[in-house]
Amino acid sequence: RGAVVVLLITGPLLFWLTCSFPAPSMTWFGIKMLFVLLILVGMIVGGINAKKAAQGDAAAQTMMQRMGMLSGGSLLIVVLAAVFAFN
């Protein structure tokens, strides 16, 4: 959770300090931040469903696994978009 908060805070701060925002890489930065938000959504929904899965809800277990895959795929895209945004 802390890592996502760090991404949400330091991403715009780093972009502002290095590029002063109106840079050509703003598109990649926007994509990066969108997928950081998807990671956050995946964590929230996964956490909610973890409590239900602990009580034996099979559908919640499946949803929790899907949110994990969503977060993992989003993390890969965040890294790639960050490379393109800041390079």
Residue 73 has pLDDT above 90, yes or no: yes
Tokens of 21: 């925002």
Average pLDDT, rounded, for the chain: 85
pLDDT of residue 20: 67
Closest CA to 64 of 43, 83, 85: 43
Closest CA to 51 of 70, 64, 69: 64
Least confident of 23-27, 30-34, 47-51: 23-27
Measure the CA–CA gap between 87 and 72, rounded to whole angstroms. 23
Whole-model pTM: value is 0.78
Measure the CA–CA gap between 36 and 59, rounded to whole angstroms. 25
Measure the CA–CA gap between 76 and 69, rounded to whole angstroms. 11
